[in-house]
Structures are given as C-alpha cells and as structure tokens.
Amino acid sequence: MATATAAINTKQATALPGRRYDHYFFSGIAALMLGLVISGFGPSYYFAGTFRASLPSTIIHVHGAVFSCWMLLLIGQTSLASMGRTDIHKRLGMAGMVMAALMLVLGVWAATDSLARPPRVPGRDPLAFYSIPLVSVVGFAALMYFAFRERRNPQDHKRIILVANVSLMTAAIARLPFQFAHRKAPVDIVCGYAFLLLLIAYDLWSTRKCQRSTLGAAAFLITTQWIAILFSRTSVWHGFAGAVQTWAQAHLI
C-alpha cells in the first residue's frame, strides 16, 4: 500500500511543470523590471547622461546610482542561479544585503531631501506624498530581511526577493508616459501588483498551488502600502511630515 501511494505521489509530482522553469520565470521577471526602470527613468536620468542629468541634489544622484546597481545585481543573481553558480550567488547575496540596507538609508534621505524642495507635481500634497517613498523603501528592506532569513530555502527566498522588488517599481511606473498612471501614486502602486499576479499565476501553473511565501510577502506589501496611504491623510501624519519638512529645509538645502 505504501509503495502504491509513493508511486502515485511521484507520478503526480512528475506531471507538474515544477521547478524546471523557475530559472526562466525569475530571470524574465528581473529583466522585465529592469526594462521598466529604464523606461521610467530613461528620459530624466539614464538618457540624460546619468550623472550629468539635471537632478535636484547630489543625494538623488547617489540614490539613483545605488538603485541602478541594485537592479544590475538582481539581473546578475538570477543569471548566476540559472547557470547553477550558487557559490557565487551566495557570496554576492551578502553584498546584496548590505546594498539593501544602504538603499533604505538613501531612500529615506532622498525622500526627505525632495520633501524640503518645492513640489514638482502641481496640486499634489507633498506632506501626504512623503509616505509613498518611505513605505516603498521600508517595505523593501523588511522583505529583504525576510528573504535573508529564508536564504536556505531557495523557493521561498526568490519569491520574497521578487515581491520586495515590486515595492521599488512604483517610482518607475509613475514616470511612464501614460496619462492614467503618470505621477498618480495609488494608481502606480496598483499597477505594480501586475508582478504579484504574474507570480501567483506562475505558482498555480508550476506547483498547482500558491506558495505561502508568495501570499505572505504579497499580503505584507499590500497591507503596508495601503495603511501608509490612508494614514498619510491624517493630521498626525501631516504634523510629523511638516516637522520633518521644516527640519530638512533648514539642514538639507
């Protein structure tokens, strides 16, 4: 009886597409994210000469450079995994965690620097908007921490990494030349969920179920983003952001 059950389970596992397409999927998603970043930031940054681009401050240049390096590292890591070079992948992973922590610091700094300057989007409340870049980098850093904890579980690790990077796509989406989404933070956030839907669809196709890591990471991201949006409309948040703005105008510009 046990032999028959094992044979049935083996047959069912063989029938599933399984992990043999993981390298194609995760490498493809990383490439798609890189293409989105280049499309969004190309006119104002990459195609404008990168460090010669007309950006408001030095910290924005540094933030842009580190963010670009992160996207290249993401491509490199997925490529190394697909080639079976997990030894190099693991060594670079430690550097990636350091870079993720640096991105948290630079992201908060860059958001605060922008808050201190005149609004670039007419009619947008800069105090309320301040919550968007903050929740993006904080959500990214938190998910990267969870991914680091799951580094010995490749299936969960790479799914959490993917969701963490979804948090960074909002700014690129906001700069795409589409009127319905251009500089509209809630819409841009929802558009980023297309990556989550792709991951969920891949889970259902490849394993016939949605992985807990996918659901948990996606739920964490969506919950934190919408709590931040709702909280940004309160007087408490406006008081906090106003105090930060006053300090930043006195010390950063």
Q: Which residue has the tokens 């799914």?
A: 159
Q: Average of pLDDT values for 30-47?
A: 95
Alpha carbon 36 to its chain centroid, in Å, reads 12
On whether residue 114 sits in a domain, the answer given is yes
Q: Is 253 exposed, middle or buried (0-12, 13-18, 19+ CB in 10 A)?
A: exposed
> Average pLDDT of the chain?
90
On whether residue 13 sits in a domain, the answer given is no
Using 50, 70 and 90 to split pLDDT, how confident is the model at 6?
very low
Alpha carbon 224 to its chain centroid, in Å, reads 13
| pLDDT over 60 at 2, yes or no | no
On whether residue 54 sits in a domain, the answer given is yes
Residues 6+ apart with CB under 8 A from 68: 37, 46
On whether residue 10 sits in a domain, the answer given is no
What DSSP assignment string belongs to 97-128? HHHHHHHHHHHHHHHHHHHTSPPSSTT--HHH
Helices and strands per DSSP (H, E), number in the chain? 11, 0
Of residues 179, 253, 198, 187, the one with CA closest to residue 225: 187
What's the CA gap between 251 and 246, in Å, rounded? 9
Count of domains forming the chain:
1
Q: Average of pLDDT values for 211-225?
A: 97
On whether residue 16 sits in a domain, the answer given is no
Q: Model confidence over 160-198: pLDDT tens digits?
A: 999 999 999 999 999 999 888 888 899 999 999 999 999
On whether residue 3 sits in a domain, the answer given is no
Q: What is the pLDDT of residue 81?
A: 86
Q: What is the pLDDT of residue 253?
A: 76
Domain range holding 242? 21-251
With a pLDDT cut of 90, the percent of the chain lying above it is: 72
Using 50, 70 and 90 to split pLDDT, how confident is the model at 18?
low
> Which of 59-73, 106-120, 174-188 is predicted with the least confidence, judged by mean pLDDT?
174-188
On whether residue 8 sits in a domain, the answer given is no
Q: Within 13 Å, how many C-alpha atoms sit on residue 48's CB side? A: 14
**Which amino acid does the sequence have at 165?**
N
> Is the distance from CB of 211 to CB of 159 less than 8 angstroms?
yes
Q: What are phi and psi of 124, to 5 degrees?
A: -90, 135
> Is the distance from CB of 163 to CB of 143 less than 8 angstroms?
yes
Q: Average of pLDDT values for 45-56?
A: 87
- What is the chain's Cα-based Rg? 20
Q: Global pTM?
A: 0.89
> Is the distance from CB of 80 to CB of 89 less than 8 angstroms?
yes
On whether residue 228 sits in a domain, the answer given is yes
> Which of 13-22, 136-145, 200-209, 219-228 is predicted with the least confidence, judged by mean pLDDT?
13-22
Q: What is the pLDDT of residue 15?
A: 55
What's the CA gap between 27 and 53, in Å, rounded? 30
Q: Cα–Cα distances in Å, from 23 out to 13, 14, 33?
A: 18, 18, 15
Structure tokens belonging to residue 117: 């300057």
What's the CA gap between 161 and 13, in Å, rounded? 25
What's the CA gap between 167 and 192, in Å, rounded? 8
> Is the distance from CB of 144 to CB of 173 less than 8 angstroms?
no
